[in-house]
């Protein structure tokens, strides 16, 4: 691979990024020096739009990009981590850690893409989604490349395991025990959960075999499905005591169905991301059905008020101060 790269030295490099920083990222190899040292052409000469954050951005595109943020409210594997926080006082710290790591991760992904644009300009990758893998193999010592590739597998396994566990729990506890067999034995639920994991894994494998599908496309569709189905219900369950059980069910159904239908006709509506109409439909369904439904019992409203009062309790610093004073 290194020989192939040396035979086609490039005069392309990164603009607005210091060469020492790029070299530190790519490694001190001959191929890297040939491709990113000063004096080479800029990424902007390859494609000027890469350096213009607003290039090709229409109102629909801007709304779709912002709509990705709504998906966080409905992702079970993300919410499960916040649900595991020890106390309300630790929420600010968890928020800082979560958002800080997300910013670093996104910056690293964008920076990797800029490096790949310049590095593979003479012979573009057949699949741009493999940019990180290709850079790892081409620019690093095999031992280091092995660690980088293992990091990819670790990230995949972490997400897959979280998704499978959440899906298994939802199948056994939220569906089977709640609606089909309320007094099911633990052993029965155990085997049902295992069967559900196998079934979901087989479905995911079948979807991955589609040659027309991309990782980004599958993630975007799943992100919209979860976000539109559970996001409105979760937000209103924390902010609106008037929401009812039937309203929540209607919101989840409306959000999921809208995402599925919109993904088939989005090209007729400015390619608007299905998250936005799905989230809006779920929100309207929750509010509309809840207002038409019988109001929640007084006991539920009182429990809601207690929960809100606890969530607005002392901050982390105040809680630690009170604990130390009490000790």
Domain boundaries, the chain: 1-55+78-140, 142-209, 213-313
The DSSP 8-state label assigned to residue 189 in this structure reads H
Phi, psi of 11 (to 5 degrees): -105, 25
Phi, psi of 243 (to 5 degrees): -65, 140
Token digits of residue 43:
């990424």
Query: How many degrees, rounded to 5, is the angle at CA 103 between CA 27 and CA 117?
Result: 45
Angle formed by the axes of helices 275-292 and 245-265, nearest 10°: 150
How far is the C-alpha of 309 from the C-alpha of 85, rounded, in Å? 18
* pLDDT (0 to 100) of residue 43: 66
Cα-based distances in Å from 297 to 178, 232, 243, 245, 310: 20, 21, 11, 11, 20
DSSP-based helix, strand, coil % in the chain, nearest 5? 75, 0, 25
Name residues whose C-beta falls within 8 Å of residue 284's C-beta, 6 or more positions apart in sequence.
Answer: 254
* pLDDT (0 to 100) of residue 83: 78
Q: With CA atoms as reference, report the closest residue to 246 among 233, 228, 257.
A: 233
* pLDDT (0 to 100) of residue 227: 92
* pLDDT (0 to 100) of residue 310: 67
The DSSP 8-state label assigned to residue 177 in this structure reads I
Question: Dihedral sign, CA of 157, 163, 169, 172?
Answer: negative
* pLDDT (0 to 100) of residue 105: 86
Token digits of residue 275:
């998250």
Phi, psi of 302 (to 5 degrees): -65, -40
Contact 89, 320 (CB under 8 A): yes
* pLDDT (0 to 100) of residue 40: 38
* pLDDT (0 to 100) of residue 238: 87
| String of DSSP letters for 120-166 | TSSS--SSGGGHHHHHHHHHS-HHHHHHHHHHHHHHHHHHHHHHHHH
* pLDDT (0 to 100) of residue 80: 76
Per the listing, tokens 């990782």 go with 215
How far is the C-alpha of 188 from the C-alpha of 190, rounded, in Å? 5
How far is the C-alpha of 227 from the C-alpha of 255, rounded, in Å? 8
- Digitized pLDDT (tens) for each residue of the chain, 327 residues in all: 333 333 333 333 333 344 444 444 444 444 544 444 433 355 666 676 666 677 778 888 889 989 998 998 988 777 877 778 888 788 888 889 888 988 898 888 888 888 888 888 888 888 888 899 999 998 899 999 999 999 889 988 888 887 788 788 888 888 888 888 888 888 888 899 899 889 988 988 887 787 777 778 888 888 999 999 999 999 998 889 999 999 999 999 999 999 999 988 888 888 899 999 999 999 999 999 999 999 888 888 888 888 777 666 554 455 455 445 444
How far is the C-alpha of 280 from the C-alpha of 195, rounded, in Å? 34
Token digits of residue 39:
């004096």
How far is the C-alpha of 93 from the C-alpha of 85, rounded, in Å? 10
Per the listing, tokens 């928020």 go with 95
């Amino acid at each position: 691979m290194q020989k192939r790269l040396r035979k086609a030295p490039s005069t392309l490099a990164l603009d607005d990024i210091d060469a020492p920083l790029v070299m530190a990222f790519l490694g001190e190899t001959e191929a890297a020096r040939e491709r990113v040292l000063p004096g080479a052409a800029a990424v902007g000469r390859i494609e000027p739009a890469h350096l213009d954050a607003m290039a090709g951005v229409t109102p629909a595109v801007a709304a779709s990009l912002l709509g990705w943020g709504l998906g966080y409210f409905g992702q079970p594997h993300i919410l499960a981590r916040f649900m595991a926080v020890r106390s309300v006082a630790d929420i600010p710290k968890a928020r800082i850690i979560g958002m800080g790591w997300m910013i670093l991760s996104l910056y690293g992904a964008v920076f990797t893409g800029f490096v790949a644009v310049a590095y593979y300009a003479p012979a573009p990758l057949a699949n741009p989604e493999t940019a990180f893998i290709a850079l790892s193999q081409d620019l690093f010592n095999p031992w280091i490349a092995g660690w980088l590739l293992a990091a990819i597998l670790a990230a995949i396994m972490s997400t897959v395991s979280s998704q499978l566990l959440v899906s298994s729990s939802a199948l056994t506890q939220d569906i089977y025990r709640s609606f089909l067999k309320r007094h099911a034995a633990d052993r029965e639920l155990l085997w049902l959960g295992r069967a559900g994991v196998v079934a979901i894994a087989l479905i995911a494998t079948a979807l991955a075999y589609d040659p027309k599908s991309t990782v980004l496309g599958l993630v975007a569709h799943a992100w919209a499905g979860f976000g539109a189905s559970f996001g409105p219900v979760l937000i209103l369950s924390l902010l609106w005591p008037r929401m009812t059980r039937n309203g929540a069910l209607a919101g989840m159904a409306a959000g999921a169905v809208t995402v599925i239908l919109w993904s088939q006709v989005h090209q007729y509506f400015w390619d608007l991301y299905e998250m936005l109409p799905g989230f809006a439909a779920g929100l309207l369904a929750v509010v509309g059905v809840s207002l038409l439904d019988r109001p929640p019992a007084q006991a539920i409203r009182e429990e809601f008020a207690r929960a809100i009062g606890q969530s607005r309790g002392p901050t982390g610093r105040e809680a630690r101060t009170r604990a130390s004073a009490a000790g």
